[in-house]
Amino acid sequence: MAVQDKLYHVLGAKQFSRSELEELFAASRSMEDVVRAGGDRRHAGRIMTTLFFEASTRTRLSFESAMNRLGGSVIGTENAAQFSSAIKGETLEDTIRIITGYSDLIVMRHTEIGAAKRAAAVSGVPVLNAGDGAGEHPTQALLDAYTIQKECGSLDGLNIAMVGDLAYGRTVHSLSYILANFKDVKIYYISPENVPIPPSVKHYMDNKGVRYEETTDLNAVAGSVDVLYQTRIQKERFPSPEEYDKAAGQYIVDAELMNRMRRDAIVLHPLPRAGEIAEEVDADPRAAYFRQAQNGLYIRMALIDRALQAE
Ligand code: CP
């Protein structure tokens, strides 16, 4: 199938303008009604491929659930590095060319930064980036922003702390790019010294005039933020166990930290967590991370709908 120019790919978070985000959030709201009504059949006969070269629970299953809720079908492979013909040496480009002939939409997670762009360059159907190595995770950032809007009422004028592994944690890169669309946002980047927010992200925020501060002191900032966005230390991406050990265990959200936070603040986490939010926090109404994961279904329904309508 020929490569088309006008496909609705989602490759990175910088591609979204404020008006596109507002449209997407409105569509996601209406998808909540669709789910409450038991789904519909608007994409019956359409097929989505999920091609995952890295592990996933939320992203893959919420995309698959989303397509099913819209009446479509799903084919795919998890652990694609092992169970697709990549293991026999097939290039990513050839894999995508083949899948293009079998389905109407590709959702791909890959180990390498830029893999989604490579896929889109040869694809005849829309490609949705479900995470490319330590690069970006744009659909996660969309659901994060949607959650913030629902929980806080607006994305303008917020103080947001991003905490943890800001170097390898791709969700904070994409969320920064999304937040740059909103007014009077201030971001606190709080990380161990060996995994700071990358210069490329800071450069983008500088160009967009977004205020940010880098610090290692979570306790000093916790009381002044609307959103505390905690992240996992991405053990699988560190060059050595010693480097991982330097970063691990420094920031834990527990009842004591929650006591420092405002009564109207929320705690988010893209999940999975690996000890950086204590389970005692789950019962606190400010713990919004399970609601956040649920919102992934609605955002991904809206994205699938948009991508298939644009085809
Ligand atoms: N947040 C997220 O991407 O989770 P999964 O790795 O389980 O998909």
- 191 CA → ligand 1 middle, Å: 20
* 173 catalytic per annotation: no
* 97 catalytic per annotation: no
Question: What is the token pair recorded at 256?
Answer: 């004591």
- 58 CA → ligand 1 middle, Å: 5
> What pLDDT score does 288 carry?
98
- The pLDDT of residue 160 is above 50: yes
Which atom, in ligand 1's list, is nearest to the CA of 55?
A: 6
ipTM entry: 0.99
- Cα–Cα distance, 141 to 257 (Å, whole number): 24
Confidence at 2, pLDDT banded by 50, 70, 90? very low
* 58 catalytic per annotation: yes
Catalytic residue, candidates 9, 43, 118, 137: 137
List the residue whose alpha carbon is closest to atom 1 of ligand 1: 270
Confidence at 84, pLDDT banded by 50, 70, 90? confident
The 3-state DSSP class for residue 96 equals helix
Q: How many CB atoms lie within 10 A of CB 18?
A: 14
- The pLDDT of residue 73 is above 90: yes
* 137 catalytic per annotation: yes
List the residue whose alpha carbon is closest to atom 3 of ligand 1: 59
> What pLDDT score does 215 carry?
97
* 199-254 pLDDT tens trace: 999 999 999 999 999 999 999 999 999 999 999 999 999 999 999 999 999 999 99
Q: Which of 50, 59, 273 to mutate to test the pocket of ligand 1 (most atoms within 8 A of CB)?
A: 59
> What pLDDT score does 5 carry?
61
Per-residue b or e along 233-260, where b marks 16 or more CB atoms closer than 10 Å to that residue's CB = bbeebbeeeeebebbbebbebeeebbee
List the residue whose alpha carbon is closest to atom 5 of ligand 1: 56
- The pLDDT of residue 27 is above 60: yes
Confidence at 113, pLDDT banded by 50, 70, 90? very high
- Cα–Cα distance, 52 to 277 (Å, whole number): 27
Of the candidates 98, 63, 70, the residue with the CA atom closest to the CA atom of residue 309? 70
Question: What is the token pair recorded at 97?
Answer: 């060319």
Q: Is the CB of 179 under 6 A from ligand 1?
A: no
> What pLDDT score does 310 carry?
73
Alpha helices in the chain (DSSP H): 18-36, 58-69, 80-83, 92-100, 115-122, 138-152, 170-179, 199-208, 218-222, 241-247, 255-260, 289-310
> What pLDDT score does 1 carry?
43
Pair type for strands 47-52 and 105-110: parallel
pTM for this model (two decimals): 0.96
Cβ–Cβ under 8 Å, residues 248 and 258: no
88 labelled ligand-binding: yes
Confidence at 81, pLDDT banded by 50, 70, 90? confident
Is 13-136+295-310's fold the same as 138-293's? yes
Q: How many CB atoms lie within 10 A of CB 263?
A: 6
Give the pLDDT mean for 107-120. 98
192 labelled ligand-binding: no
The 3-state DSSP class for residue 300 equals helix
Catalytic residue, candidates 9, 69, 109, 110: 109
Q: How many CB atoms lie within 10 A of CB 79?
A: 12
Q: Residue 162: beta bridge partners?
A: 189, 229
Q: Residue 159: beta bridge partners?
A: 186
> What pLDDT score does 80 carry?
87
Q: Is the CB of 58 under 6 A from ligand 1?
A: yes
Average pLDDT, the chain: 96
> What pLDDT score does 3 carry?
54
In CATH, what number does 138-293 get? 3.40.50.1370
Torsion, CA 61, CA 177, CA 97, CA 88, rounded to 10: -70
The rounded percent of the chain whose pLDDT value lies above 90 is: 94
Per-residue b or e along 149-172, where b marks 16 or more CB atoms closer than 10 Å to that residue's CB = bbbbeebeebbbbbbbbbbbbbbb
232 labelled ligand-binding: yes
Residue type, 9: H
Catalytic residue, candidates 58, 118, 150, 173: 58
User: In the 3-class helix/strand/coil scheme, how is 197-225 assigned residue by residue?
Assistant: CCHHHHHHHHHHCCEEEEECCHHHHHCCC
> What pLDDT score does 78 carry?
82
* Domain boundaries, given as residue ranges, for the chain: 13-136+295-310, 138-293
- Cα–Cα distance, 40 to 126 (Å, whole number): 22
Give the pLDDT mean for 152-180. 98
> What pLDDT score does 26 carry?
98
Q: Which of 51, 53, 57 to mutate to test the pocket of ligand 1 (most atoms within 8 A of CB)?
A: 57
* 246-295 pLDDT tens trace: 999 999 999 999 999 999 999 999 999 999 999 999 999 999 999 999 99
CATH topology of domain 13-136+295-310: Rossmann fold (3.40.50)
> What pLDDT score does 311 carry?
63
Catalytic residue, candidates 59, 77, 95, 100: 59
Which atom, in ligand 1's list, is nearest to the CA of 57?
A: 7
Give the pLDDT mean for 183-194. 98
